[in-house]
Amino acid sequence: MGTVIFITGVDTGVGKTFVACGLASLLRDLGYRVGVMKPAEAGCAERDGELFPEDAVRLKEASGCQEPIENICPYRLSEPLAPSIAAERAGVKIDIDHLLAVYNEISAQHDMTLVEGAGGLMVPLLPSYTYADLAKVLKLPLIVVAANRLGAINHLVLTLEHASCKGLRVLGYVLNHIESPLSLAAETNREVLANLTAAPCLAELPFLENMEAKKELPPDWFKERLEFSFIESVLNRR
Ligand SMILES: Nc1ncnc2c1ncn2[C@@H]1O[C@H](COP(=O)(O)OP(=O)(O)O)[C@@H](O)[C@H]1O
Ligand SMILES: [Mg+2]
């Protein structure tokens, strides 16, 4: 069984897929076999008569993971809602045992598997079962991604507090500039957070112009900006 990291966020649209893909391509470039998983993806558009899980496909491409997309993303849902309610409205039953079986298969075959959540820790996969519960059952250490803007301090500290209440291990957090221009809050968040939490800031990522055109960032782009020693420490724990 390889190492697994759960990439969660303080919200939807904060850069979880961006960070997970960057980490996946970096690890792949370093010669690791990288597995990926997106247990449920909601808001999938239809393509050729099938629901297309954009995040899962991006994760697969960045990592080079050979698993079929049905395993990487077992639950593909059309409505842009929390997976529990998107599934309920589509008449789909999310089966945690099935997720665990697929997870075991993927993580067993890779040195490092990255699992991307949906939204944040308290988003429900089942009506009374959240991503935090899944991370707890699988004993997954977390990377928490936050959009670096006004509000990030509260969102991040609440997420870290909840992780701690659940007994989840947090490797650290990433501050991601998804907005331009840089706000005063974005310039000062890192310093404020350092006094509020013991969790390390693993990276502060700059805003990229024409982000869509830059999906294929060179692996070194992340290596230069990431506290890489934390990944080595997780990999060496195996
Ligand atoms: N550093 C960045 N600079 C510019 N745009 C970004 C950056 N990080 C993410 N984005 C954009 O923000 C949007 C949300 O990012 P995404 O990784 O899909 O978030 P999540 O997975 O948390 O929903 C995407 O359109 C993505 O291209
Ligand atoms: Mg995503």
Q: What is the pLDDT of residue 45?
A: 98
Ligand 1 centroid, distance to 205 Cα (angstroms)? 11
Taking residue 180's Cβ as centre, other Cβ atoms within 10 Å add up to 11
Q: Which atom of ligand 1 is nearest to the CA of 14?
A: 22
Q: How far, in Å, CA of 77 to CA of 93, rounded?
A: 11
Asked if 140 and 106 count as a contact pair (C-beta separation under 8 A), the reply is no
Total domains in the chain come to 1
Which one has a higher pLDDT value, 204 or 234?
204
CA torsion sign, 38 to 112 to 230 to 227?
negative
Query: Helices in 77-225 by DSSP H: which ranges?
Result: 83-90, 96-108, 131-137, 152-166, 184-196, 219-225
Residue 159 in 3-state DSSP?
Answer: helix
Q: What is the pLDDT of residue 216?
A: 74
Residue range(s) defining the domain that contains residue 81: 3-236
Query: Predicted confidence band at 229 (pLDDT cuts at 50, 70, 90)?
Result: confident
Query: Predicted confidence band at 237 (pLDDT cuts at 50, 70, 90)?
Result: low
pLDDT at residue 81 above 90?
yes
| Catalytic residue (one of 38, 136, 166, 223) | 38
Q: What is the pLDDT of residue 234?
A: 78
Q: What is the CATH number of the domain that holds 98?
A: 3.40.50.300
Q: What is the pLDDT of residue 107?
A: 97
Ligand 1 centroid, distance to 211 Cα (angstroms)? 8
Query: Predicted confidence band at 187 (pLDDT cuts at 50, 70, 90)?
Result: very high
Q: What is the pLDDT of residue 6?
A: 98
Report which secondary-structure segment, H or E, holds 71.
Answer: helix 69-72
